[in-house]
């Protein structure tokens, strides 16, 4: 099969790889019909190389048709159309019983001290071959795959793999009060959907970004925006728009690659120049994140408000302004998304012909799998208005 493989910083290739097969009784194999490039994939492309191995298959946003199932699988069968959550969870352990699927005790990567294994995402999360490929082996298939109707285009359902549940969790964690307000920092795919979900639930939403295409997309969906490339002091502007208080909640949908953090950018660059054996422990034990967005979130939220961090951070000792946070009485919530926890709330919205969340207006580029190297470069550089790119094997 053809698959997108990692070979170094900003070096991804499409190569012939062995077809996956059933290895465990509760495995399934799917033929991938669509697969997304996620902002988290850019961390592998740019920052987290020390945790990768040459030839690793990337991708964690796939959907497709079931080809084969193991003898223990009865919930899906060959021919079913399914979306695959990006985290691999069993559905029956203690953590899964609490709906904390991203902390599944069956698939936790204990040698790395991390939570549930993820598709296509570094040694830190199990080094499981990913979904940017023609075929995908799905472990724990007795629970993970989400059956979806035949007929509508893939884009109607694909975002159930990551984008939609991640955005829904971001809004849930933000605890926006009825009639309240939220600022969303970063209007990439997760930020776009977080903003739309919050607005769908009746909240006032202010979106912040500096990329014109992202601002225009948010405006199309009724989101109030701030152009960070034009506004000198974004938190001050947010307070100006909210009677001097700041918004009730803030969602940080940016993460480790925020602009405006020169010292951490230098740390990331230096780490990327080191051999993996040296860089990996450095990144695991030091502060290498660019915290501009998180610091602005802390400055923008009202006193007693809530910050929901959904953008991925990678450093272990990143400095936070604890005095400021304590003085303001801020609640900080974060964590990997518990995908299956939110599907029952999202499925009625993605199957609604009216498309209330605008899932059909998120993809900006559809490209064949063979063009993945160009797609990654476009997404990383935000060129040609790229906001969300889908690959089609």
Task: Write the CB contacts of 219 (distance below 8 Å, at least 6 apart in sequence).
Answer: 225
- pLDDT computed for residue 49 by the predictor: 75
Q: Among 3.40.50.410, 1.10.10.10, 3.90.600.10, 3.40.50.720, what is the CATH number of 166-334?
A: 3.40.50.720
User: How confident is the model over 211-259, as pLDDT tens digits?
Assistant: 999 999 999 999 999 999 999 999 999 999 999 999 999 999 987 654 4
H-type alpha helices, the chain: 39-46, 94-97, 163-174, 189-200, 212-220, 234-241, 262-273, 276-285, 292-300, 322-328, 339-351, 372-381
User: How confident is the model over 193-206, as pLDDT tens digits?
Assistant: 999 999 999 999 99
Judged against a pLDDT cut of 50, whether residue 24 lies above it is answered with yes
pLDDT bracket for residue 279 (50, 70, 90):
very low
Long-range contacts of 94-98 (CB under 8 A, 24+ apart): 96/143
- pLDDT computed for residue 164 by the predictor: 98
Averaged pLDDT, 287-291: 54
User: How confident is the model over 253-268, as pLDDT tens digits?
Assistant: 987 654 434 444 434 4
Are the C-beta atoms of residues 30 and 136 closer than 8 Å to each other? Answer: yes
Task: Write the CB contacts of 361 (distance below 8 Å, at least 6 apart in sequence).
Answer: 217, 220, 221, 355
Can you name the residues that pair with 119 across neighbouring β-strands?
128
User: How confident is the model over 136-180, as pLDDT tens digits?
Assistant: 999 999 999 999 999 999 999 999 999 999 999 999 999 999 999
User: How confident is the model over 323-360, as pLDDT tens digits?
Assistant: 999 999 999 999 999 999 999 999 999 999 999 999 99
pLDDT bracket for residue 316 (50, 70, 90):
low
Averaged pLDDT, 7-26: 96
Domain ranges of the chain: 2-162+338-392, 166-334
Q: Among 3.30.70.100, 3.30.70.1230, 3.40.50.1000, 3.90.180.10, what is the CATH number of 2-162+338-392?
A: 3.90.180.10
- pLDDT computed for residue 55 by the predictor: 95
* Secondary structure (3-state) at 62: strand
Question: Residues of the chain with pLDDT > 70: what percent?
Answer: 90
Task: Write the CB contacts of 346 (distance below 8 Å, at least 6 apart in sequence).
Answer: 160, 164, 165, 168
* Secondary structure (3-state) at 357: coil
Are the C-beta atoms of residues 136 and 62 closer than 8 Å to each other? Answer: yes
pLDDT bracket for residue 320 (50, 70, 90):
confident
Q: Mean pLDDT in the chain?
A: 91
């Amino acid at each position: 099969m053809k698959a997108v493989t990692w070979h170094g910083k900003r070096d991804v290739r499409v190569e012939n790889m062995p077809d996956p097969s059933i290895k465990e009784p509760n495995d399934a194999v799917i033929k991938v019909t669509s697969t997304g490039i996620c902002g988290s994939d850019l961390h592998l492309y740019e920052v987290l190389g020390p945790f990768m191995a040459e030839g690793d298959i990337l991708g964690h946003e796939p959907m497709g048709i079931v080809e084969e199932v193991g003898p223990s699988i009865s919930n899906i069968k060959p021919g079913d159309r399914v979306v695959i959550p990006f985290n691999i969870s069993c559905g029956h352990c203690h953590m899964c019983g609490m709906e904390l699927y991203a902390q599944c005790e069956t698939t936790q990567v204990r040698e790395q001290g991390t939570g549930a294994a993820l598709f296509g995402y570094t040694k830190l999360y199990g080094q499981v071959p990913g979904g940017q490929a023609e075929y995908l082996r799905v472990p724990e298939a007795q629970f993970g795959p989400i059956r979806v109707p035949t007929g509508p285009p893939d884009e109607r359902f694909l975002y159930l793999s990551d984008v939609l549940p991640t955005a829904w969790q971001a809004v849930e964690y933000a605890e926006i009060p009825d009639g309240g307000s939220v600022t969303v920092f970063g209007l990439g795919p997760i930020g776009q959907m977080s903003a739309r979900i919050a607005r769908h639930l009746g909240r006032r939403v202010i979106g912040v970004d500096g990329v014109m295409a992202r601002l225009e997309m948010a405006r199309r969906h009724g989101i109030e925006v701030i152009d960070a490339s034009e506004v000198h002091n974004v938190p001050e502007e947010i307070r100006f728009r909210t009677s001097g208080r700041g918004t009730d909640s803030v969602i940080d949908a940016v993460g480790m690659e925020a602009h405006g953090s020169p010292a951490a950018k230098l740390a990331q660059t230096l780490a990327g120049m080191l051999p993996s054996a040296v860089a990996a422990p450095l990144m695991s034990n030091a502060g290498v994140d660019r915290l501009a967005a998180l610091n602005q979130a802390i400055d923008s939220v009202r006193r007693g408000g809530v910050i929901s961090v959904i953008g991925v951070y990678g450093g272990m000792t990143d400095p936070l302004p604890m005095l400021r946070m304590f003085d303001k009485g801020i609640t900080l919530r974060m964590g990997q998304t518990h995908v299956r926890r939110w599907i029952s709330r999202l499925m009625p919205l993605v199957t609604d012909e009216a498309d209330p969340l605008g899932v059909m207006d998120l993809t900006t580029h559809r490209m064949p799998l063979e063009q993945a190297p160009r797609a990654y470069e476009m997404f990383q550089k935000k060129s040609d208005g790229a906001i969300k790119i889908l690959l089609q094997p």
